[in-house]
Each structure stands twice: as C-alpha cells, then as structure tokens.
C-alpha cells in the first residue's frame, strides 16, 4: 500500500494541497481531458449523478454542463471548503462528507457515478468500486479516472511507494471483482504525457 493510500494521511495531504490544488490540477487533469471523459459517460439531461471524490469541484463543474442533478462527495473538509466557495454549501450541488467505501445512499440512487483523481487514495479500491456499483441503477454507468501505471521501472517504484497506479489489466481485475461485466479503458493526458491517466467506463449489469 502506498503512503497516501491511508485515509488519515490523505486527509492531511489534501489539507495543504487544497490551497494550491486548482492552480496545479490543470497540468495533470485539464478541461480537455475532462471533456473527453464526459463524452464517454454520455449523460442525459436530468440524470442524477454522483461525483465521488469531488475535491474542489473540477469534475463537478463539467458534470453541471450536462445535468442539474449533481451530488458531490469527498472525505476532505479542506477540499470541500474550496468547492463550497464555487457552488455554495447548498443550492445547485448537494454535498456530502464521506468516503467511497461507505456511500451514504440507498441502492439504485443514481443514474451514473463519476470519480476523477480519487481512486488512487482508496485503501480498498474493490470495496469502493462495489459501493459505486451498488448506488447506480441497473444499466447505469460508472466512470473512474485514475493514474496510469508508468512504463519506466524507476517511476514504477516511486509510484508504488506513494499511491495506487494501475494499468488496464489491473483495472479489469478490480472492476470484475466489484461485480462489473462490461468495462472499457481509455488513456488520456496533456500534450507532454498523453497517457498519464487511465479512464475506465463500466456499465452496471441489468
């Protein structure tokens, strides 16, 4: 388990990162990548969507371009405080403080779940993916964006020490164990590293 695959350490990390997150984020996860991932999710107007690990609301902003029924969840109070500055505590987006392994929602509560830049901090990603599947209606979609496993052995060792990095084969294993049957992966990234992220789209069995 990497250093930041621990909830208390991840919260402490984001306490400090939240102050500069929106300035750093575009170098790793930018609007073009977000738009590409949103096209894959293929939302309909009026879909009820959950943003797991919403952070400061970067993904949330994109989701609101497609539907007004958006719900954001994060375990970091500091990240959520930044999201509140953008959207307010109540109003256009409904926010919840919790984590991906214990979603405070009933089964079949959402038409889709989006999660970008969060899975790498989950101590038990299969448990969290199972929760994502649980709260999505049959036939609905789950889209997860995470860090693609580096090809360099040096960067692999660094990545393994910090947090979860994974390739398509590992993503297939995790999603399969979580009960998904139809999963596709796309790599994407900024111009300097077009395969920095792996985006997985899964359908919930009907």
Could you tell me the residue ranges of all domains in the chain?
7-24+45-203
- C-alpha–C-alpha distance, residues 157 and 137, integer Å: 38
CA 79 from chain center: how many Å?
14
Residue pLDDT, tens place only, 73-130: 999 998 899 999 999 988 889 999 999 999 999 999 999 999 999 999 898 999 999 9
pLDDT at 11: 58
Beta bridge partners of 49: 70, 112
The CATH number, out of the four listed (3.40.50.150, 3.10.20.30, 3.40.50.880, 2.40.37.10), of the domain defined by the range 7-24+45-203: 3.40.50.150
Sheet with 136-147: list strands edge to edge: 93-97, 69-74, 48-52, 110-116, 136-147, 197-203, 182-188
- Residue 26 CA: distances (Å) to CA of 12, 22, 32, 90: 22, 7, 10, 26
Q: pTM of the entire structure?
A: 0.88
Higher pLDDT residue, 40 or 24? Answer: 40
pLDDT at 14: 47
């Amino acid at each position: 388990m990497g250093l930041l695959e621990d909830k208390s350490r991840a919260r402490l990390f984001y306490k400090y990162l939240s102050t500069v997150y929106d300035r750093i984020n575009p170098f790793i996860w930018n609007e073009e990548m977000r738009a590409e991932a949103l096209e894959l999710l293929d939302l309909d107007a009026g879909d009820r969507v959950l943003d797991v690990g919403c952070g400061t609301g970067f993904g949330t902003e994109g989701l609101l371009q497609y539907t007004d029924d958006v719900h954001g969840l994060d375990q970091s109070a500091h990240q959520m405080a930044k999201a509140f500055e953008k959207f307010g505590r109540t109003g256009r987006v409904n926010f919840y403080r919790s984590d991906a392994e214990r979603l405070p929602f009933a089964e079949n509560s959402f038409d889709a779940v989006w999660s970008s830049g969060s899975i790498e901090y989950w101590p038990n990603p299969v448990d969290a993916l199972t929760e994502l599947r649980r709260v999505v209606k049959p036939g609905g979609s789950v889209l997860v964006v995470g860090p693609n496993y580096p090809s360099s052995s040096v960067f692999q060792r660094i990545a393994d020490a910090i947090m979860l990095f994974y390739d398509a084969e590992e993503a297939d294993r995790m999603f399969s164990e979580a009960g998904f049957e139809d999963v596709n992966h796309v790599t994407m990234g900024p111009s300097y590293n077009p395969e920095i992220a792996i985006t997985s789209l899964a359908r919930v069995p009907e």
